[in-house]
Structure 1
Amino acid sequence: MAGGVKYPEVYLDMLSQPCRALHILLSFNKVPFTVRTVALRKGEQKTPEFTSLNPMQKVPVLVDNGFVLTESVAILKYLVTKYSLPEHWYPSQPERRAKVDEYISWHNTNTRPHTAKVFITEVLIPRMTGSAVDGLRVERALAELKDTLDMLESMFLKRQPFLCGDDITLADLLAVCELMQPLGGDRDVLSDRPKLQRWRSRVQSALGESFDDAHSVLYKLRDNFKSKL
C-alpha cells in the first residue's frame, strides 16, 4: 500500500478460466494486487461475505478502492483503462477495439462453453460424483468443440499471429485460458491443430512466467488425473 491507496483485490479460484486470465493480466503487467482465494469446490462462493460482494456467487470479483466489478470481461477492460496498460491489450483505435470486442462476444457463446463442456464431462463430473468418465458424452463434447476450433482458425486467426492482428490482446488471453482447461484431464484439444498450436505457443511466449504461474494448479490437476489412470 502506498499513499493510503489500497491495491486492487481479486477474488479468484485458479481452476476458473477467467480467473486465470485476470491473474495473468495483472501479474504480467506488474500491477500490484491482492488475491482472495474463493474455493468453488468447497462452496466458498456461497458464504454471506462473498455473496454480499457478488450475489451471483461467481468468480472473479474485483474490488478496487471500494469499487466492485463482478464480470470477467468488464474487469479486464476496466483494468486496462484504469491502470493505463499497454495499448495492444484493448486498443483505443475504434476498428482495432471492435475486432477485440467481436471475438469476445463470440467467445462467450462458443470457445468458452464448448471447451468447458469437455472439461466438465471428462474431469469435473467424475471427480464430483465418483462415477466413471462417460466416453460417449466426451466424444459429443469434442464434436461440438471441433466447429469452434475450425472457426478460430478460419475466421479469427487466419494468417495473422494473434486472433485480432499482430499483437496479443484480451481476446488471446481469454481464448488461451479456455483452451488450456481440458489439460486438467490430460487432453490437449489442439493436439491435431498445428496452426492453433503455433498460436498458443506465441501467446505463451509473450506472457512468459505469468502464464505458467497461473496454470500451475491446472498442471497439478493433470498430473493427479494421469496418476489415477
Structure 2
Amino acid sequence: MAPKLYWILASPPARAVVFCAKQLGIELDLIEVDILKNEQYKPEFLKINPLHTVPVLDDDGFIITDSHAIMPYLVSKYRKGNSLYPEDIKKRAMVDQRLHFDSGTLFANHIRVCMPLLNKRTKAIPEDILTALTEAYCVLEGFLLDSKYVAGEDLTIADLSIWTTITNCSGYHPVEKNKYPKIAAWLKRMEATPCNDLNKAAGDYIRDLFQSLLSLSNSHQREMAPKLYWILASPPARAVVFCAKQLGIELDLIEVDILKKEQYKPEFLKLNPLHTIPLLDDDGFIVTDSHSIMSYLVSKYRKGSSFYPEDIKKRAIVDQRLYFDSGTLFANHIRVCTPIIFKGAKTIPQDLLTAQTEAYGALEQFLQGSKYVAGDDMTIADFSIWTTITNSSDYLPVEEIKYPNITSWLKRMEATPNNDLNEAAAEYIRNLFQSLLY
C-alpha cells in the first residue's frame, strides 16, 4: 500500500517530499489539504498533526511530519544507501546542515513573508525580512562556491528542500543572475530534473498569487498612506523614508523645494511654523522632526520592532544617539550648509570643521565593539546618523585610517536596500557643494 502524503502544491516542503519520492521511484498516495480553506484545522487532521502543517506522511499508520524528517525516512526505509541521503557520516552531516539552513533560515523567512499576507494581517513585505532573505541568498551562494549542489557534487534531499523554497521566494524576491551566479547555475541544473514542470507550475502560481496580494494591498495602502513632506537632499527626510521602507510602510511622498522657499508658503507654515522638513501627516496627526517621526512610526505601525526597542535601557541608548545626531552631528552640518546654500558663503569656517571632526570622533567611540551605533542591531539612530554622515562627507570625508569603526559601519549600511537612494542624494549634494563653493 502506497504511503499517504498530505500536501498542497504551493507548499515548498510538500513539493520537496514529492520530488524526493519521484527520485527514489516511490509512489505516494497524494491527499490535498486546502490550507486557504483552513482544512488543516479540521479535527481529523489535527489528530494526525497537532501542528496543523503540511506535509504529513502516513506510512501504514506511522505518522511523521516536517519534510526535512520525512525525506530521510523515505530514503532510509525504501532506498537505503541512496546518494540523496548518504550514509557516509561527514557527507550526511553536510546534508543535515543544509536541511537545517532551509528549515531555520530560508524557509523560516519565507513563512514570515507569507503568513501575514495570506491572513491579511499586513499589506506589504517588511524590508527587514527581505534583507534577511538577501543574507540567506548570500549564504547559499557561498555553499555553491565550489560545488555543483548545495551539499557537494551529488544531488541530495537538501537540494530538493532549498530548490522548492527558492522557487517560492523568487515570486517576490527574485534571484538576480549577476549578483548570485552560483545560485543561477545551480537552478539551471535543478531545472533539468524530471520534477521541474511541477515546480515551475507551483512557482507560476505563487508569483501570480503574490502579485495579486501585493497589488491589492499596495493600492489600499496608497489610499491610506501617511503623507511625508520631504526632499531627497535632506538627511532627516531620507532617514524617515528609510525607516518606513525597513518597516514595510508605504508613504505618500510630497516634495517641498526648499531652494524655492516652498517651506515658507502659508499652507506649509500652518502645518509647521518651524518651516522645516520632514513633516508627517498621518490622517491629520502632524509630527515634525525626523527623530520623533521615526519613533512614532515604529510605535504605531510596528510596535516591538528592534528598530526602536521597548527595552528601556536599549531605548535610552537609541534616544541618546538620536539626540547626538540632532544636537551635534546634524546641527554642525546645518551650520555648514545654510550659509553656503542660502547666503552665498564660499568657504567653510575652520571652527565648524573642527566641531564636526570632534563629532566624528565621538561616533567612532560609539561604534567601538558594536555593529551599529546603538548596539548590535540596526535602529532608527543608524538611519539618522548615516544620512547625516553621507551629506557631511562631501566636505569632511570619513578617513578609513582615522575612523575604522565608522568605515566598517558605513559598509554595513551600504548593504541595505536603501543605499541606492542614499548614494543618489550624496551625488546631488556633492555636485551642489562643488557648484556653490568653487
Specify the TM-score bucket, using the shorter chain as the normaliser: 0.7 to 0.9
| Equivalent residue letter for 2:7 | L
Task: Give how far 1:87 is off.
Answer: 1.9
CA distance 1:106–1:128, change in 2 (3 Å): closer
Q: State the partner residue of 1:178.
A: 165
Q: State the partner residue of 1:3.
A: none
Match of 1:8 among 3, 9, 14: 3
CA distance 1:96–1:146, change in 2 (3 Å): same
Q: State the partner residue of 1:106.
A: 101
Asked if residue 143 in structure 1 is aligned to residue 131 in structure 2, the reply is yes
Task: Give how far 1:132 is off.
Answer: 4.2
CA distance 1:85–1:198, change in 2 (3 Å): farther
Match of 1:19 among 11, 14, 21: 14
Match of 1:68 among 63, 66, 77: 63
When the two chains are superposed, the root-mean-square deviation of aligned CA atoms in Å is 2.3
Match of 2:175 among 189, 200, 216: 189
Asked if residue 158 in structure 1 is aligned to residue 145 in structure 2, the reply is yes
Could you say what secondary structure the match of 2:63 adopts? strand
Identity of paired residues, percent? 29
Counting only pairs closer than 5 Å after superposition, residues 43-62 of structure 1 correspond to structure 2 as 43-62=38-57
CA distance 1:125–1:29, change in 2 (3 Å): same
CA distance in 1, matches of 2:212, 2:138: 32
CA distance 1:202–1:44, change in 2 (3 Å): same
Preserved contact between residue 116 and residue 178 of structure 1 (Cα < 8 Å): no
TM-score, structure 1 as length reference: 0.83
Preserved contact between residue 12 and residue 165 of structure 2 (Cα < 8 Å): yes
| Equivalent residue letter for 2:10 | L
CA distance in 2, matches of 1:130, 1:48: 25
Structure 2: segments with no counterpart, 5+ residues: 216-438
CA distance in 2, matches of 1:126, 1:106: 23
Q: State the partner residue of 2:203.
A: 218
Task: Give how far 1:92 is off.
Answer: 0.6
Q: State the partner residue of 1:168.
A: 155
Task: Give how far 1:162 is off.
Answer: 0.8
Task: Give how far 1:159 is off.
Answer: 1.1
TM-score, structure 2 as length reference: 0.45
Q: Which structure ranks higher in relative contact order (CA pairs < 8 Å, sequence separation ≥ 6)? A: 1
Deviations 1:48-72 (A, max 9, x none): 1111111221111101111111122
Task: Give how far 1:177 is off.
Answer: 1.1
| Equivalent residue letter for 2:133 | L
CA distance in 2, matches of 1:70, 1:127: 22
Asked if residue 203 in structure 1 is aligned to residue 161 in structure 2, the reply is no
CA distance in 2, matches of 1:176, 1:108: 12
CA distance in 1, matches of 2:80, 2:196: 17
Runs of 4 or more consecutive aligned structure 1 residues displaced over 4 Å after TM superposition: 224-229
CA distance 1:86–1:190, change in 2 (3 Å): farther
| Equivalent residue letter for 1:158 | L
Task: Give how far 1:131 is off.
Answer: 6.4
CA distance in 1, matches of 2:99, 2:110: 15
| Equivalent residue letter for 1:101 | D
CA distance in 2, matches of 1:143, 1:88: 34
Could you say what secondary structure the match of 1:87 adopts? coil
Preserved contact between residue 168 and residue 207 of structure 2 (Cα < 8 Å): no
Preserved contact between residue 90 and residue 169 of structure 1 (Cα < 8 Å): yes
Preserved contact between residue 12 and residue 36 of structure 1 (Cα < 8 Å): yes
Task: Give how far 1:126 is off.
Answer: 4.2
CA distance in 2, matches of 1:152, 1:218: 19
| Equivalent residue letter for 1:16 | S
Preserved contact between residue 33 and residue 39 of structure 2 (Cα < 8 Å): yes
Deviations 1:67-115 (A, max 9, x none): 1111221110000111116621000111111111122233322222224
Counting only pairs closer than 5 Å after superposition, residues 76-115 of structure 1 correspond to structure 2 as 76-84=71-79, 87-115=82-110
